[in-house]
Amino acid sequence: MKPQKIHILGIAGTFMGGIAQIAKAMGHEVSGSDKAIYPPMSTQLEQAGIDVLNDDSIEFLKTEPDDVVIGNAKSRGHAAVEATLNHQQSYTSGPQWLAEHILKDRWVVAVAGTHGKTSTASMVAWILEYAKLNPGFLIGGVPENFGVSARLGDSPFFVVEADEYDTAFFDKRSKFVHYHPRTCVLNNLEFDHADIFDSVADIQKQFHHLVRTVPGNGLIVMPTDEANLDEVIEKGCWTPIEKQGSNGEWSYKLYEKDGSEFEVMYQGSCLGRVSWPLTGLHNVRNALSAVAAAVHCGVMARVAVEGLSEFKGIRRRMTLIGEVPSGNKQGIKIYDDFAHHPTAIETTLKGAKNQLIKQKANEPTRPGNSGRLIAVFEPRSNTMRMGIHKATLPLAFKEADEVYAFIDDDWNWQLPIEEFSQPIHIQNSYEALLAQLVKELQSGDTVVMMSNGSFGGLHHKLFTALKEK
């Protein structure tokens, strides 16, 4: 293919940044623009040698690009979007570009669902890599085994995190309808993205569009206990299905309550034992789906299970920022996590609590082993800001001993603090929240900071401040 000149609007997002890296790897000349760019995507783009312009800049049009790829965060009225249209410049969406230039010739493994997409897609990509299949992938996070969120790869296999959010301002279908997977994982389905969906039924309709694209010689992997997904399948399915969970073809046997060690079972037979740094039953279930998907791609089950024990996790999915080594705040651990939906918050905190219980049992005399679990979060997603999950948030934090929250006054957003079963503290600035945490955290606390944004860099600022105490 002749190298092209491509400019990407909204390049700082994990998906669009992944598109940029893949296009660059194909030999295209790539540039982009965005308004807020921070690690890890800023680092990846810099390492790839991709220039990033100011969000409103229209200078890229002077270079006469062959195509402008527009991210779904950019709408009519945005200066660069309007300039693209006014210049009658050729443009497309990220999912459409990916489908036409990459996926049409690949065995696509797509991972969809409200939760666990990034983790499961990362596991599948790593298992294929462990099996020496050198897959391409585009994932909405950074798997630690790879260090990047996207890669072209040179095998038939391409793993993509399949998002149900809409494609672009000019294409309101879900992104995943463009991908045409041969292997499709459906993790779960809950109400989310209230800014574009009015009901669960609206989301189910999009998921059924995805199901319609999976060929008869493909495979759908899904759980045994997701009623919303069962209803999607009841609308019509033309593809074999394998289920994971209780009474499914794929199941598990826990050896550690926190999910750090378990057996993978297929039709009642043990395929091997996984011992890894991840925690939480949700990750065990993600692992079952990943193994099932990889086996469908031709990986031996034994090899797939072995590969999981070498899986290192994903950045911003319970990533340890650090443990305070000494001083008045000795032993405080700071974790960074992406959880921003009540279900994700609940499962993350449950896994963290079980890990604390195990640690307490194994190291009862460890200095500063308080065993307290502290949750710190900001309601950053559009759905959260709309107040859709306010009623279910208090219960999501039930495993935490104390909760801290950042809520900007401009959001006009209030938490039902009387519904929380533990003390909850709210601040309207990152600086005030940092000061309160530094003052009130106790030696041996485990702190989980949850946001799907940068959280004002609070994770590292807090760790630095605590070390100085």
- At residue 361, the pLDDT reads 66
Alpha-carbon span 277 to 344, nearest angstrom: 18
Tens-place pLDDT, residues 275-309? 998 888 889 999 999 999 999 999 999 999 999 99
Crossing angle of helices 458-467 and 430-440, rounded to 10°: 40
Contact 396, 379 (CB under 8 A): no
How far is C-alpha 157 from the geometric centre of its chain's CA atoms? 20
- At residue 277, the pLDDT reads 86
SS3 content of the chain, % helix, strand, coil (to 5): 35, 25, 40
Tokens 């590969």 correspond to: 307
Band of residue 381 on the pLDDT scale cut at 50, 70, 90: low
Q: Which of 3.90.190.20, 2.40.420.20, 1.10.3720.10, 3.30.470.20 is the CATH number of 319-467?
A: 3.90.190.20
Contact 344, 456 (CB under 8 A): no
Domain with CATH 3.90.190.20 in the chain: 319-467
Tens-place pLDDT, residues 63-102? 999 999 999 999 999 999 999 999 999 999 999 999 999 9
Both tokens of 349, joined, read 């905190």
Alpha-carbon span 323 to 325, nearest angstrom: 6
CATH class of segment(s) 5-93: alpha beta
Tens-place pLDDT, residues 330-377? 888 898 887 667 877 887 888 788 777 777 766 665 555 567 899 998
Indicate the Cα dihedral angle 22, 27, 32, 38, nearest 10°: 50
Specify the CATH superfamily of domain 102-309. Answer: Mur-like, catalytic domain (3.40.1190.10)
Alpha-carbon span 384 to 452, nearest angstrom: 11
Tens-place pLDDT, residues 113-161? 988 899 999 999 999 999 999 999 999 888 989 989 999 999 999 999 9
Look at residues 125, 154, 139 and name the one whose alpha carbon lies nearest to residue 311: 125
Three-state DSSP at 222 gives strand
Neighbours of 312 (CB within 10 A): 14
For 89-135, the three-class secondary structure string (H helix, E strand, C coil) is CCEEEHHHHHHHHCHHHCEEEEEECCCCHHHHHHHHHHHHHHCCCCC
Contact 164, 196 (CB under 8 A): no
Domain with CATH 3.40.1190.10 in the chain: 102-309
Band of residue 432 on the pLDDT scale cut at 50, 70, 90: very high
Contact 348, 420 (CB under 8 A): no
